[in-house]
Amino acid sequence: MKFPRSAMTRLVKSSAIGAAALAVTGCISLGSEPPESLLTLSPSVSAEAGSGAGASTADASTAISILPLEAPAKLDALRVPVAVSATELAYLQDAFWVEKPARLFRRLLGETLRARGGTLVLDNDDTPLLAAQSLRGTLMEMGYDASSSSAIVQFDAIRTQEDGSVTSRRFEARETGVLPEPGSVGPALNRAANTVADEVAVWVTGAS
């Protein structure tokens, strides 16, 4: 049986399109299954509901702005870094942050300062208010050290005061005896991060 030339042309085109579709399908990856749970940071102290402080755009002497924090490449990810040795880095299996560590820690700092200092804390990039004081810095560590079985949080803080003076200080907290699994590392990092945030709040506000 002979096919008309037009029908044969359509058959060839259809076969070619089908083959191309199969080839493309074989190259497409929709990604791995989402993790069963995600890690986050939760404050150990929070400002009470209804409490707060205020400042106008003309007088922001009581306000402090927490600027976006820097972080090294190993923390610019949704994974928990593991220091295997002095020169080798890995990531903890099945451990994923809900948001990048620097953003989580910035939010934790803001909530801790609100609770400890009773001052107006600006940690939103969209606010028009220019605070007299600012806090910035680099989140150097928020991960797991395999050699000591420790969860470590290290923050290099830089504070700029109303008179323009600038001071810096390194804060670090460790939780030891931590198993290398998300269920142990996650809570340990949360405790260490809260310890650092509390020490920063005391340094900035003088409140104990």
User: 23 in a domain, yes or no?
Assistant: no
What pLDDT, on the 0 to 100 scale, is given for residue 24?
A: 35
User: 69 in a domain, yes or no?
Assistant: yes
What residues contact residue 130 under an 8 Å CB cut-off, 6+ apart? 57, 60, 65
The pLDDT tens digits for 124-153 are: 775 556 788 999 999 999 999 999 999 999
User: 80 in a domain, yes or no?
Assistant: yes
User: 118 in a domain, yes or no?
Assistant: yes
User: 47 in a domain, yes or no?
Assistant: no
> Among 160, 129, 163, which Cα is nearest to 60's?
129
Distance CA 67, CA 87 (A): 31
User: 139 in a domain, yes or no?
Assistant: yes
Q: State the CATH number of the domain containing residue 126.
A: 3.40.50.10610
What pLDDT, on the 0 to 100 scale, is given for residue 178?
A: 98
Distance CA 42, CA 125 (A): 21
**Mean predicted confidence (pLDDT) in 21-50:** 62
User: 14 in a domain, yes or no?
Assistant: no
Average pLDDT, the chain: 81
The one-letter amino acid at 16: A
Q: Can you say whether the dihedral through the CA atoms of 198, 200, 205, 208 is positive or negative?
A: positive
Domain that holds residue 132: 63-205
The pLDDT tens digits for 80-108 are: 999 999 999 999 999 999 999 999 999 99
What pLDDT, on the 0 to 100 scale, is given for residue 63?
A: 86
User: 135 in a domain, yes or no?
Assistant: yes
> Among 178, 206, 174, which Cα is nearest to 193's?
174
pLDDT at 18 over 70: no
Which residue in this structure is represented by tokens 């290099």? 156
Instruction: With cut-offs at 50, 70 and 90, classify the pLDDT of residue 33.
Output: low
Q: Which has the higher per-residue pLDDT, 192 or 45?
A: 192
What pLDDT, on the 0 to 100 scale, is given for residue 8?
A: 40
Judged by average pLDDT, the poorest of 9-23, 24-38, 46-60, 179-193 is 9-23
What pLDDT, on the 0 to 100 scale, is given for residue 116?
A: 83
Q: What angle do CA 128, 133, 136 make, to 5 degrees?
A: 90
What pLDDT, on the 0 to 100 scale, is given for residue 10?
A: 44
- Cβ burial of 106 (10 Å; 0-12, 13-18, 19+) is buried
Number of domains in the chain: 1
The pLDDT tens digits for 37-77 are: 899 999 987 765 544 444 444 345 678 999 999 999 999 99
- pTM for the model: 0.78
What pLDDT, on the 0 to 100 scale, is given for residue 207?
A: 62
